[in-house]
Chains A and B, each alone.
With several copies, the nearest count.
Chain A
Amino acid sequence: MTKLLRVVSPDGKYKEKDEPPLSEEELLKMYRYMMLTRALDTRGMALQRQGRIGFYVPSSGEEAVQIGSSFPLEPRDWIVPAYREQGAALLRGIPMAGIMAQLYGNEEDTAKGRQMPNHFTSRAAHFVPTSSPVGTQIPIAVGLGWAARIRGDNVVALGYFGDGATSQGDFHAAMNFAGLFQANTVFVCKNNQWAISVPFGNQTGTNEVAIKAQAYGFEGVRVDGNDVLAVYQASKEAIDKARFGGGPTLIEAVTYRMGPHTSSDDPTRYRDEAEVEKWRKKDPIVRFQRYLKEKGIWNEEMEVEIRQEAEAQVEEAVVRAEKRGLPSPATLFDDVYAEMPWHIKEAKEAFLEYLEKS
Chain B
Amino acid sequence: MPEMNIVQAVNSALLEEMQRDDRVILLGEDIGKNGGVFRCTEGLFEEFGPDRVIDTPLAESGIIGASIGMAFYGLRPVPEIQFLDFIYPAFDQIVSEAAKFRYRSGGEYPCQITIRSPYGGGIKGGHYHSQSTETYFAHTPGLKVVIPSAPYDTKGLLLSSIRDPDPVLFLEPKRIYRAGREEVPEGEFTIPLGEAKVVREGADVSIFAYGAMISQCTGAAEQAEEVGISCEVVDLRTLVPLDIDAVLDSVRKTGRVVIVYEATKFLGYGAEIAAILAEKAIESLEAPILRVAGLDTPFPYTHENLYLPDAGRILDAVEKVYSF
So, do A and B actually touch in the complex, CB under 8 Å? yes
Please give the residue numbers on chain A whose beta carbons come within 8 Å of chain B beta carbons, in ascending order.
Answer: 54-55, 78, 80, 105-106, 109-116, 119, 121-123, 128-129, 131-136, 138-148, 150-151, 157, 164-165, 167-170, 172-174, 176-177, 180-181, 195-198, 202-204, 264-265, 269-270, 326-327, 329, 332-338, 341-344, 347, 351, 354-355, 357-358
CB contacts (< 8 Å) of A146 on chain B: these are: 66, 69-70
CA distance A40 to B145 in the complex (A): 42
> Considering only CB atoms, which chain A residue lies closest to B103 in the complex?
A335
CB contacts (< 8 Å) of B104 on chain A: these are: 111, 114-115, 119, 121, 129, 131
> Considering only CB atoms, which chain B residue lies closest to A346 in the complex?
B244
- The contact of A121 among B106, B129, B244, by CB within 8 Å, is B106
Interface residues of B in 266-324 (CB under 8 A from A): 266, 295-298, 300-303, 306-307, 312-313, 316
- How far apart are B89's CB and chain A's nearest CB, in angstroms? 6
On whether A105 and B302 interact (CB within 8 A), knowing A115-B104, A136-B93, A144-B69, the answer reads yes
CB contacts (< 8 Å) of B102 on chain A: these are: 335-338
CA distance A164 to B52 in the complex (A): 22
- B11-50 interface code vs A (CB 8 A; 1 in, 0 out): 0000000000000010001101111010000000000000
CB of B72 within 8 Å of the partner chain: yes
> Considering only CB atoms, which chain A residue lies closest to B93 in the complex?
A136
CA distance A342 to B312 in the complex (A): 24
- How far apart are A109's CB and chain B's nearest CB, in angstroms? 7
Are A111 and B106 within 8 A (Cβ)? yes
Q: How many residues on the B side are at the interface (Cβ–Cβ under 8 A)? A: 81
- The contact of B144 among A173, A197, A204, A337, by CB within 8 Å, is A337
CB contacts (< 8 Å) of B244 on chain A: these are: 342-343
- B44-80 interface code vs A (CB 8 A; 1 in, 0 out): 0000000110111111011011111111111101000
- How far apart are A250's CB and chain B's nearest CB, in angstroms? 16
Can you list 16 A-B pairs with a CB-CB distance of less than 8 A? A54-B124, A105-B301, A112-B106, A114-B106, A115-B126, A136-B97, A139-B68, A141-B69, A150-B25, A167-B62, A170-B65, A177-B57, A197-B32, A269-B35, A332-B300, A351-B306
CB contacts (< 8 Å) of B97 on chain A: these are: 131, 133, 136, 140
Stretch at the interface among B107-115, B213-221, B255-263: B107-115
CB of B166 within 8 Å of the partner chain: yes
Are B30 and A113 within 8 A (Cβ)? no
The 9 residue pairs across chains A and B that have the minimum distance between CB atoms? A143-B69, A139-B65, A113-B302, A341-B241, A132-B128, A147-B73, A197-B34, A173-B62, A143-B66
CA distance A142 to B164 in the complex (A): 23
CA distance A355 to B242 in the complex (A): 26
- The contact of A347 among B29, B110, B296, by CB within 8 Å, is B296
CB of B249 within 8 Å of the partner chain: no
CB contacts (< 8 Å) of A138 on chain B: these are: 65
- The contact of B37 among A114, A196, A334, A342, by CB within 8 Å, is A196
On whether A144 and B72 interact (CB within 8 A), knowing A114-B302, A173-B65, the answer reads yes
- How far apart are B18's CB and chain A's nearest CB, in angstroms? 14
- The contact of B58 among A115, A119, A164, A265, by CB within 8 Å, is A164
Instruction: From B25, B129, B300, name the one whose CB has the most chain A CB atoms within 10 angstroms.
Output: B300
Are B58 and A167 within 8 A (Cβ)? yes
Are A195 and B58 within 8 A (Cβ)? yes
CB contacts (< 8 Å) of A338 on chain B: these are: 102, 110, 164-166
CA distance A161 to B247 in the complex (A): 47
Are B108 and A115 within 8 A (Cβ)? no
Are B67 and A167 within 8 A (Cβ)? no
> Considering only CB atoms, which chain A residue lies closest to B42 in the complex?
A269
CA distance A236 to B301 in the complex (A): 37
Are B65 and A136 within 8 A (Cβ)? yes
CB contacts (< 8 Å) of B301 on chain A: these are: 54, 105, 113-116
